[in-house]
Amino acid sequence: MRAKLTGHDTFPLRYGWLYKAVNHLNSGGKLQTSKEDETQQAIIRLGVGKNMVNAIRYWAESAGLLYSKRKQSNIDYFTSKNGNYIFNEKTGKDPYLEHLGSIWLVHFWLCFNEDEMTSYRYFFNIFNGEYFEKQVLLAHMSDDLVKLTPSDSSVNNSTIRKDIDTFLNSYSKKHIAKAGDEEQFRSPLTELSLIQESGKNYYLSDLNSKSDLPIEIFIYALLKFVQKESLLSKVSKVNFKSLLLDPLSPGRIFRLSEQGLGEKLDAAQNYSNGRISWLDTSGLRQVSVDSAYLNQEQVVLDSYYEGASNV
């Protein structure tokens, strides 16, 4: 794992940026900033400054909506399957993030990554605090990054602090636009209410049932996690505790309580007609996924958007 604490230029994610990144690339635009003419074209077409071009690319790439290929000394960016699935202006399921499930999905994509460590991935996958001070989060992350990214000597407290500030500015309810502010300056991630300000430099991120998390998005995350686990164990079963506490698990990424995870698993069992099932008996809580259902995460997403479009 390597640290990825820069690239956003301290800009939190904003509404419209992911749409702009995907469709700018699809229309033949470029997002790298090494060539001045391409940079100026991106500034004009995206309607933002140079640093914001960098930030747009950062957030879209971090969410897995873009991927890069190096060609000699240049890096070219391309739209991924996930990027087109949601944000393509012609075929995308929800290019303007009108459905809350799409924002939950973007959040999952941002955090389901074990290759590059960012402050939000650290918080949602490793940090255990529910009520915390920013300085305490900084201290914990600084200590843990020494173990998590041992080969990366570029990490320092100043860089970590800026990344944490950007993370909190993207997720915290305190950054919802005030009356009169323009909607595009809000981060869509604040809609999830995963983090709330609770006094100066104090924050609350409680564990609960996340009643507004659509069951299809939960199942998508569950299947992705079990797929990852099954590569190691060769079986499509996972311990309840792993689903609740392990890095990259739905319990971690969605900040579910133990009761909340149980409720989501009950709903998933009903939704899947038993193809996802779980036992909760004395001393054993285990979740099983039918092997024929294990790779149906895209079908589940399609079902969500079919239902959402009919509302």
Task: Give me the CATH number covering residue 90.
Answer: 1.10.10.10
Residue 81 belongs to some domain of the structure: yes
Q: How many domains does the chain have?
A: 3
State residue 233's pLDDT score.
60
| Shared-domain flag, residues 237 and 285 | yes
Read off the pLDDT of each residue in 159-187 and give the average, rounded to a whole number. Answer: 76
Phi, psi of 44 (to 5 degrees): -70, -45
Task: Compute the chain's Rg from CA coordinates.
Answer: 20
Where in 66-219 does DSSP place strands (E)?
Answer: 66-71, 74-79, 116-117, 131-133, 196-197, 202-204
| Pair 62, 141 in one domain | no
Classify residue 152: in a domain, yes or no.
yes
Are 229 and 273 part of one and the same domain?
yes
Question: Does 5 fall in a domain?
Answer: no
270 pLDDT more than 70 = yes
Q: What is the dihedral of CA 83, 77, 168, 13, to 10 degrees?
A: -60
Higher pLDDT: 224 or 181? It is 224
Residue 57 pLDDT class (50, 70, 90 cuts): very high
**Residues 86 and 103 reside in one and the same domain:** no
Judgement on whether residues 178 and 227 belong to the same structural domain of the protein: no
Query: Can you give the CATH number for the domain in which 259 is found?
Result: 1.10.10
> Measuring CA to CA, which residue among 70, 64, 19 is closest to residue 46?
19
Inside any domain, residue 40: yes
Phi, psi of 74 (to 5 degrees): -105, 155
Within 4-128, where are the H helices? 17-26, 36-46, 50-62, 81-87, 100-111, 119-125
Q: Which of 59-73, 143-157, 288-302 has the highest mean pLDDT?
A: 288-302
Alpha carbon separation from 110 to 5, 253, 254 (Å, rounded): 14, 10, 12
- Shared-domain flag, residues 104 and 163: yes
- Calpha distance 206→77 (Å, rounded): 37
Task: Tell whether 177 and 224 lie within a shared domain.
Answer: no
Residue-range definition of the domain harbouring residue 261: 215-309
Domain assignment present for residue 11? The answer is: no
- The model's pTM: 0.93
Structure tokens belonging to residue 283: 């001393």
Could you tell me if 60 and 147 lie in one domain?
no
Residue 20 in contact with residue 46, Cβ under 8 Å?
A: yes
- What residues are paired with 132 via a beta bridge? 203
Q: What are phi and psi of 133, to 5 degrees?
A: -95, 145
Give the pLDDT of residue 176: 45
Q: Which residue has 């995350």 as its token pair? A: 221
SS3 content of the chain, % helix, strand, coil (to 5): 50, 15, 35
pLDDT, tens digit, for every residue of 108-135? 999 999 999 999 999 999 999 999 999 9
**In 10 A of CB 286, how many CB atoms?**
16
User: Of the candidates 32, 60, 95, which is a domain's last residue?
Assistant: 95
- Residue 2 maps to a domain: no
Whether 76 and 89 map to the same domain: the answer is: yes
Distance CA 243, CA 226 (A): 9
pLDDT for residue 35 is more than 70: no
The verdict on 107 and 37 lying in the same domain is no
9 in a structural domain = no
- The answer to whether residue 1 is domain-embedded is no
Q: What is the pLDDT of residue 217?
A: 98
The residue from 95, 130, 151 where one domain ends is 95
* Domain end point (choices 206, 234, 250): 206
Residue 9: CB atoms within 10 Å = 15
Q: Tell which residue, 233, 255, 214, has the closest CA to residue 101.
A: 214
| CB contact at 8 A, 175 and 185 | no
Mean pLDDT across the stretch 92-101? 97
Contacts of 50 (CB under 8 A, 6+ apart): 33, 39, 43
Backbone phi, then psi, for 132, in 5-degree steps?
Answer: -145, 155
Do residues 151 and 2 touch, judged by C-beta distance below 8 A? yes
Residue 155 DSSP code = -
- Whether residues 225 and 255 fall in one domain: yes
On whether both 279 and 225 belong to a single domain, the answer is yes
Give residue for tokens 């391309």. 78
